[in-house]
Amino acid sequence: MRGLRAGLLALLMVLGMAVFAAACGGDDDGGGGGSGGTPATKDDVDLTQGQDVTIAMVTHGDGGSFWAVAKKGAEDGAKQMGVTLKYSESNNDPQKQAQLIDAAVTEKVDGLAVSAPNPDALKDSLQKAVDAGIPVITLNSGADDYESLGAYTHVGQTEEIAGEGAGAKFKEAGAKKVLCIIHEQANIGLNQRCDGAKTGFGGDVENLQVKGTDDVQTTLTEIQSKLQADKSIDAVLALNPDIAVAARDAIKGAGSSAKLGTFDLSGDVVTAIQDGEIEFAIDQQQYLQGYLPVVFLTLNKTNANTVGGGQPVLTGPGFVTKDNAETVAQLAKDGTR
Amino acid sequence: MTEADGGGSPAAAVTAPGAPAPEPVADERLANIGLPARLMRRPEVGSLLGALVICAFFWITTDVFGTLDGIANWTDVASTLGIMAVAVALLMIGGEFDLSAGVMTGTTGLLMGLLTTEWGLSMWPAILLTFLFAAGVGFVNGYMVVKTKLPSFIVTLATFFVLQGVNLGVTKAITGTVRVAGLGDVPGYDSASGLFSSTFWAPHNFRISVVWWIAIAALATWVLARTRAGNWIFAVGGDANASRNVGVPVARVKIALFMTTAIAAALVGIMIALRLSSVQAGQGVGEEFTYIIAAVVGGCLLTGGYGSAIGASLGALIVGMAFIGIQFSGWNTDWRFLFLGVILLLAVLVNNLVRHRAEGARR
């Protein structure tokens, strides 16, 4: 018994150290931040080209396949610009997001990129950033509020217009009733997309709240039982690639012939489009939403450039259909689309 | 039996001839225990060690963790968590769980938001009604647990789902969106946010919730250690039947603990709502486990009857320090939960190890 416990403890210690090493290894600039105590290695010099710029990106992301691409964009942007990136996600918790922004302001980062699904909640924290002289850009969510939040531009797509596009696409295909699947309780942008779809479709659009990306299996069951209960639904709009895949299986499982459209891409979604299982995907090109703010903020710091001229920089919407799916397929598998 | 044997211990009477005479054994319950051992037996010692290690680690490896601004950051994260952890710790010492504690912070925040922005109440009456509502929900939780004798795990899980559904359904039915916004324009907002969500000590801007947290932890510690209610809480958590037999009002204590937890959730819900001047329908969902984790890291037993409010506060502090420390370190946040999990597991193991060592002499 005692031996077992000691063994367990040793295992945990090793695991702990492995995690620690992995965590530190993930970012070359690790804990050293700007301590300046350790001389920079040759690699650092090559990568940073002498720049000492730190950009913080705080999103409401959940680590799902959508945000993984945005994060990759931010990381690639940081690598190419030779700056340090501190990326963090709040998993839709506005209080945590505000606290993470506070932490970035404490660190006096050189630029701050923030997604703002709930602008009220971030107002105070972003004001602190502005007061501290940190340039701010909003990304992904916040197209209507970036100016009042003190951001000099917004990088993303407007939800309603993208939703309208999806609605119009279903109308074109001759659908009668659309089911719009909302996978995050508290994200206002998702409701705006469904509202937009209603406008663009001009007919019956019903919203369905599901469990979400945390629990795709339950979500699948929820969609399937909805389709079984209401046979008049002949079109389904998913707002996230993981949910779209679940919806595809749910449509099959329910024996329904509903047409499926989705927001955003993943490797699976593109394959499904090629196979004709998904009609279209609205691509907001979230890679750009990670990449561009890092580039813009770095240029702002090093060259005093302001991109956007006070207008948002739109990364979408674009449609991926069977026609152009081939090109996008490889890129989606690489995790950049 | 000779006269000489009369006062001897029973052990001495059966000792084989020739064996060394055993030392006279004092009553073990009256034995003198050294100060170190007594300290080591406190429930919060493991979390204290854990907190010190994590604090030292981030203090050394990052530039800003140890600055006043940095401390303001992580005490901010720990404070609302800590208030809940203390209440949940009391409930756990009393032998029960409340899985609806997390979602209650959302329900109460939304209620206050709807009362003010939709039904035109000013802030203070809305806050009063919110506390009353929370007390009511806590009472229902406690009453159902006591009357049905079902595990509180199940009963409050039901409450959790009911509230989660109500939060979303009512919010969308009334506002048409998934959040209640515009709290900042309600009359009385300034005075209410002054009390619940302001900051002090500019320019470092510590949150006022930190003061609430410390005060609540101190109050809970006093109740546990110095009052009859505190004895009752330990008693009902240790053995409900035995305490009922000696006259402890078990049902009343448990219901009061559920109400305390719900009222604490209302306090935190109000704090968050006032701070963000808006509330999302999904607020607080999933946080209940963080509260329980903080309490367990702080030395509360899942079986009840043992634990401390200070320990739970330290547990909350660990979570807060790790959350902000990882951010300051700039580690790849993909690993955050793995790291948090390992920290929590290590803290609990250290806790266990230290306590077993300290109690070793007793067994």
The domain spanning residue B240 has which CATH number?
A: 1.10.3470
Return d(Cα A14, Cα B342) in angstroms, integer.
11
Closest CA relative to residue B213, chosen from B79, B329, B332:
B79
A172 has a chain B CB within 8 A of its CB: no
Identity of the amino acid at A236: V
pLDDT at site B40: 73
pLDDT at site B359: 65
- The mean-pLDDT minimum among A284-288, A300-304, B39-43, B311-315 falls in B39-43
Q: How far is B320 from chain A (nearest CA, A)?
A: 10
Q: Would the CB atoms of A99 and B323 count as touching at under 8 Å?
A: yes
Using a 10 angstrom Cβ sphere, with 0-12 exposed, 13-18 middle and 19 or more buried, the burial of residue B86 is buried
pLDDT at site A19: 47
* Mean pLDDT, rounded, for A64-71: 88
Average of per-residue pLDDT values in chain B: 87
Give contacts of A112 with chain B, Cβ < 8 Å: none
Q: How far is A113 from chain B (nearest CA, A)?
A: 15
Return d(Cα B282, Cα A187) in angstroms, integer.
9
Q: Would the CB atoms of A22 and B346 count as touching at under 8 Å?
A: no
Q: Work out the pLDDT band at B19, boundaries 50, 70, 90.
A: low
Residue identified by tokens 């079109």 is A235
pLDDT at B33 over 80: no
Identity of the amino acid at B283: Q
* Mean pLDDT, rounded, for A174-203: 90
| B18 domain-assigned | no
pLDDT at site A317: 83
> Could you report the per-residue pLDDT of B278-315, keeping only the tens digit for each?
998 888 998 999 999 999 888 888 889 989 999 999 99
Q: Work out the pLDDT band at A63, boundaries 50, 70, 90.
A: confident
Nearest CB to A23: which of B69, B285, B331? B331
| B56 domain-assigned | yes
Nearest CB to A185: which of B168, B334, B336? B168
Domain count for chain B? 1
Within 106-165 of A, beta carbons closer than 8 Å to B belong to 106-107, 118, 120-121, 123-124, 128
What share of chain B has pLDDT > 90, as a percent?
63
A1 has a chain B CB within 8 A of its CB: no
Q: Would the CB atoms of A186 and B277 count as touching at under 8 Å?
A: no
A96 has a chain B CB within 8 A of its CB: yes
* Mean pLDDT, rounded, for A274-288: 92
**Which of A19, A20, A58, A107 to mutate to probe the B interface, most B CBs <10 Å?**
A107
Who wins on pLDDT, B333 or B235? B235
- Maximum CA extent, chain B: 92
**Which of B58, B63, B326 to mutate to probe the A interface, most A CBs <10 Å?**
B63
> Could you report the per-residue pLDDT of B123-169, keeping only the tens digit for each?
999 999 999 999 999 999 999 999 999 999 999 999 999 999 999 99
A98 has a chain B CB within 8 A of its CB: yes
Nearest CB to A94: which of B182, B280, B336? B280
pLDDT at B4 over 60: no
Domain that holds residue B95: 46-353
Closest alpha carbon within chain B to A16: B342
pLDDT at B349 over 90: no
Nearest CB to B332: which of A26, A84, A188? A26
| B116 domain-assigned | yes
Question: Are residues B294 and B81 in contact, defined by beta-carbon separation less than 8 angstroms?
Answer: yes
Q: Which letter, b or e, does each residue of A44-71 get, where b requires 16 or more Cβ atoms within 10 Å of its Cβ? A: beebbeeeebbbbbbbbbbbbbbbbbbb
pLDDT at B63 over 70: yes
Question: Are residues A156 and A125 in contact, defined by beta-carbon separation less than 8 angstroms?
Answer: no
pLDDT at B17 over 70: no
| B362 domain-assigned | no
pLDDT at site A308: 85
ipTM above 0.85, yes or no: no
Question: Are residues A141 and A189 in contact, defined by beta-carbon separation less than 8 angstroms?
Answer: yes
* Mean pLDDT, rounded, for A21-48: 41
Closest alpha carbon within chain B to A184: B282
What share of chain B has pLDDT > 70, as a percent?
90
Q: Would the CB atoms of B323 and A96 count as touching at under 8 Å?
A: yes
pTM for this entry:
0.78
| B363 domain-assigned | no
| B140 domain-assigned | yes
| B273 domain-assigned | yes
pLDDT at site B363: 40
Return d(Cα B91, Cα B98) in angstroms, integer.
8
**Which of B183, B277, B334 to mutate to probe the A interface, most A CBs <10 Å?**
B334
| B278 domain-assigned | yes
> Could you report the per-residue pLDDT of A88-127, keeping only the tens digit for each?
999 889 999 999 999 999 999 999 999 998 888 999 999 9
Q: Would the CB atoms of B282 and A30 count as touching at under 8 Å?
A: no
